[in-house]
Amino acid sequence: MEDKRQWPLYEVFIRARGGLDHKHVGSLHASDARMALDHARDLYTRRQEGVSIWVVPSNAIVASDPAETDSMFEPARDKIYRHPTFYEIPDEVKTL
C-alpha cells in the first residue's frame, strides 16, 4: 500500500558534461516529477556536477534478483575470449 505520509522515491541520473552518459548519482523524495527535478538540482548539482538531469520513479525500474546472481552472471566468468584483450594495441592509440 502506498504511504501517503512520504513522497514517492525517484532515482537521479546526471550527465557530467556534454558527450558523457547520464550516471546514477542517488535518489530523493518528491511529490511529482517536476519537484523531483528541482530537488535533484538542489541536492546533486550544488558543486557543478552536471549539465543535464534525468529523474525516474524508482518503482519504474525493474531490477535483477540478487538470488539469481549465480545463474545471471556466473556463466560469463569463464569466457574471457569475449574481452578484446588478445589484440596488440598500436602505440598511436592513446585511449581505448
Partner 1 sequence: MSAPAPKVDSDSLFRYVLRLGDLSLVLGQRLGEWVGHSPALEEDLGLANIALDLIGQARLLLTYAGEIEGRGRDEDKLAYLREQGAYFNAILAEQPNGDFGQTIVRQVLIDAFQLELYERMATSRDERLAAIAAKSVKEVRYHLRYSSDWLVRLGDGTAESHARAQSAVELLWPYTVELFAADDLDRLMAENGIGPDLSEVHAAWSARIDAILNEATLNRPADRPHAWHGKRGQHSEHLGYILAEMQYLQRTYPDSRW
Closest separation in Å from C-beta 46 to partner 1: 7
Closest separation in Å from C-beta 43 to partner 1: 5
Which of positions 15-34 make contact with partner 1 (CB under 8 A)?
A: 28-31, 34
Q: What CA–CA distances, in Å, run from 85 to 10, 75, 80, 81?
A: 38, 19, 8, 8
Classify 55 as helix, strand or coil.
strand
11: which 3 cell numbers? Answer: 532515482
Bridge partners of 54, per DSSP, are: 13
Q: Which of 42, 52, 59, 89 binds partner 1 (CB under 8 A)?
A: 42
Binding site for partner 1 (CB under 8 A): 7, 28-31, 34-35, 38-39, 41-43, 46
